[in-house]
Amino acid sequence: MGESNWAGNHLFEASRILRPRTVDEVRQLVADAPKVKALGTRHSFNDVADFDGGVLIDLADVDAPLEIDADASTVTVGAAVRYGDFIPALHEAGFALENLASLPHCSVAGSVATATHGSGQRVRNLAAAMSGIELVTADGGLRRFTREQDPDVFPGLAVGLGALGVVTRLTLDLVPTFSVRQDAFVEIPWSVLLSEFDAIQADGYSVSLFTPWLGDSAGMVLLKRRAEPGEALPELAGFHGGIPMEAPPRDNFTEWGVSGPWHERLPHFRLDAVPSVGEELQSEYLVPIADAAAALAEIRAMGESLAPALFVSEIRTVAGDDLWLSPSHGGDRVCIHFTWQPKPEAVAALLPRIEERLAPFGARPHWGKLFHGGPWLAERYPEMPAFRTLAERLDPTGTFRSPFVSRHVFDE
């Protein structure tokens, strides 16, 4: 077919990508095709959005209005809309999403389906904001579920990996709009970072550490502090032994050093620029926050062997949730992310070694990034049996059971 994901490291093995214009067309396509998978904005780094020999459905042409319900503090959006396309309208209406990922370029359905997250010890991932979902199931039927009316299955529906159906609309919780100021600090010693890890996380609404793992100083801490709308937060002279960094390392970053609306500060990268490095691969593992120092020490010990394949690592946190396939199911997590150079063989060789080091902590990989995996993966999700039952109920014919889902969910 010749189409690939954003990173260009995965060539889709599906036979076709179809772009229906209405939900009825989506229903017909699903009812007619024996193997179907929904495709978002293709930002995943593995085959989670692919279906060997099947049909991929891209809903970008399905017209779905933005519906803000001010009384309920919710917004309902079309599945394929990118965060960056509607978050300014939320702010205009006096609302915000609790958190955003590092980039606003991804679709809502794709982000929710893979438990995409930002950073913040008290802030959950993007899937946790979902309070309602509409999806086309294998028989072409359109089903709606809400958190209130379907409590038995709702925690299984958000992080669905595309295995439950084609999502057409989602309802998300809103909070009152707020401001954020982001600042960066360098030269925080590793010893301070590890001993003051909790305090460092608690000092920001969202905190990210960018590190190459080498040397005595940990790297760059990107601190995002929350403020009331219009409130100007003061500059900090230092942060846990780190000194302020004047300007972002690249011009694709959102604005530093001045307070502004949440949607222009929570993502690291601007919608009108290529996010992150551009030509790269990514992996990420989530570890219980109580094990943060020990897990970070394990990866730091690999620093020299990671260096030839690594651009940079990002260490973040995410609050726990109850979503069945969320890597932060059951408690707060530290997220150890790797932005790799485009060296697939070198990365593939490193992943099992990283997974071995993080195994004692029960690390769960990000569903949309590169990992090696194995039978241990499903075992790390206590609700995996419930998810399998739900998938079999909504998809008795295996219409959405792609190779990725067979491998990692059904252990086939």
Ligand X SMILES: Cc1cc2nc3c(=O)[nH]c(=O)nc-3n(C[C@H](O)[C@H](O)[C@H](O)COP(=O)(O)OP(=O)(O)OC[C@H]3O[C@@H](n4cnc5c(N)ncnc54)[C@H](O)[C@@H]3O)c2cc1C
* Choice from 75, 166, 200, 394 touching ligand X (CB under 6 A): 166
As a whole number of angstroms, the distance between CA 373 and CA 371 comes to 6
Check binding of 391 to ligand X (CB under 6 A).
no
8 Å CB contact between 260 and 179? yes
Check binding of 9 to ligand X (CB under 6 A).
no
Cβ of residue 53: shortest distance to ligand X, in angstroms?
16
Stretch that binds ligand X, among 61-69, 114-122, 233-241, 375-383 (CB under 6 A): 114-122
Check binding of 46 to ligand X (CB under 6 A).
no
Cβ of residue 327: shortest distance to ligand X, in angstroms?
9
Check binding of 161 to ligand X (CB under 6 A).
yes
Cβ of residue 200: shortest distance to ligand X, in angstroms?
19
Check binding of 107 to ligand X (CB under 6 A).
yes
Check binding of 106 to ligand X (CB under 6 A).
yes
C-beta of 232 vs 281, nearer to ligand X: 281
Check binding of 101 to ligand X (CB under 6 A).
yes
Cβ of residue 267: shortest distance to ligand X, in angstroms?
8
Cβ of residue 61: shortest distance to ligand X, in angstroms?
12
Check binding of 113 to ligand X (CB under 6 A).
yes
Check binding of 368 to ligand X (CB under 6 A).
yes
Binding mask 68-87 for ligand X (x = CB under 6 A): -----------x--------
Binding mask 325-364 for ligand X (x = CB under 6 A): ----------------------------------------
Stretch that binds ligand X, among 113-121, 185-193, 223-231, 287-295 (CB under 6 A): 113-121
Close Cβ partners of 223 (under 8 Å, ≥ 6 residues apart):
182, 183, 184, 185, 203, 204, 206, 207, 236, 239
Beta bridge partners of 260: 180
* Choice from 84, 140, 162, 330 touching ligand X (CB under 6 A): 162
Binding mask 15-44 for ligand X (x = CB under 6 A): ----------------------xxxxxxxx
* Choice from 116, 201, 328, 399 touching ligand X (CB under 6 A): 116
Check binding of 59 to ligand X (CB under 6 A).
yes
Check binding of 276 to ligand X (CB under 6 A).
yes
Count of residues in contact with ligand X, rule CB under 6 A: 34
Check binding of 102 to ligand X (CB under 6 A).
yes
Check binding of 209 to ligand X (CB under 6 A).
no
C-beta of 91 vs 105, nearer to ligand X: 105
As a whole number of angstroms, the distance between CA 62 and CA 201 comes to 40
Check binding of 117 to ligand X (CB under 6 A).
yes
Close Cβ partners of 391 (under 8 Å, ≥ 6 residues apart):
163, 164, 400, 401, 405, 409
As a whole number of angstroms, the distance between CA 46 and CA 48 comes to 6
Give me the residues that bind ligand X (CB under 6 A), please.
6, 37-44, 48-49, 59, 79, 101-103, 106-107, 109-111, 113-114, 116-117, 161-162, 166-167, 275-276, 282, 366, 368
